[in-house]
Amino acid sequence: MKVVLFSFALLMGSSACHSTPTEQNNQSEPALVQTGGSISVTAFEQQMTLPGVQILDVRTAGEYQGGHFNQALQADWLNRSEFKERVQYLDKSKPVLVYCASGVRSADAMYWLRDNGFQNVSNLKGGLSAWRMEGKPLETKPTRPEMDVAAFNASIKQGTILVDIGAEWCPPCVKMEPVLQQLQKEKGALYQLLKVDGGIDIGIMKYLRSEGLPTFIVFKNGKETWRKQGLVDLATLAAAVQ
């Protein structure tokens, strides 16, 4: 009986002093720690000033036009294909602030972003309703009048025109801006750039049968000669305006 008790004591001591293989693996490979969550209006406002922060409005384009934060990008959570396509251009290594009207859609979007590799995502608790309830203004930019088809056709009638259908709130459009600026430096004498706003010039988008942002179209003396939707490299754009 003494031998049995002594052996049992040795076994318990060994278990207390040595971790199992699973425990050793957990110690050597700590789980990634995600940051963020649903935060107050005050905290959200403070984080908006952080360097490199990305502000994402997950409402519809129509809601966005009714009032939004300056510098906010837009990707409609209810249009899942649009949402996935646009957020792929966000930087997963930088903080993301998401918001909607009441905080419900943006909370769902936050969890999706976290599940898909974004490590620092915060949601505005209560959405823009809570923001307005605390007397905070929306820093919106005034919109210009919508371009009509007659004015558009007059603009593309002569010469080589590169039409850029995009928007400041569209992530891939923002990504294309440095490319367009470089193209202007290198080939600016060959063409004119005409910007069509995807949130304002809806009639022109329908007229051109544009189905996504950004879309680039080249017209030469009023005739369409080239079209491409999505990201385009500098060499391809340069060849199109030659």
Q: Which of 17, 100, 170, 173 is catalytic?
A: 100
63-86 b/e (C-beta count within 10 Å ≥ 16 → b): bbbeebbeebbbbbbeeeebbebb
pLDDT computed for residue 144 by the predictor: 80
Please confirm, yes or no, whether 100 is among the known catalytic residues. Answer: yes
Residue boundaries of the structural domains of the chain = 35-133, 149-240
Give, for all 242 residues of the chain, the pLDDT tens digit.
444 443 333 333 433 333 333 333 444 333 334 567 999 999 999 999 999 999 999 999 888 888 899 889 999 999 999 999 999 999 999 999 999 999 999 999 999 999 999 999 999 999 999 998 898 988 666 668 899 999 999 999 999 999 999 988 899 999 999 999 999 999 999 999 999 998 789 899 999 999 888 999 999 999 999 999 999 999 999 999 99
Q: For residue 181, what are the CA distances in angstroms to 185, 188, 238?
A: 6, 9, 12
pLDDT computed for residue 140 by the predictor: 64
Question: CATH fold of 35-133, please?
Answer: Oxidized Rhodanese; domain 1 (3.40.250)
The sign of the CA dihedral 84, 88, 90, 93 is positive
Task: Please state which CATH class domain 149-240 belongs to.
Answer: alpha beta
Residue 52: CB partners within 8 Å, gap ≥ 6?
91, 94, 95
pLDDT computed for residue 72 by the predictor: 94
Which DSSP string corresponds to 103-121?
SHHHHHHHHHHHHTT-SEE
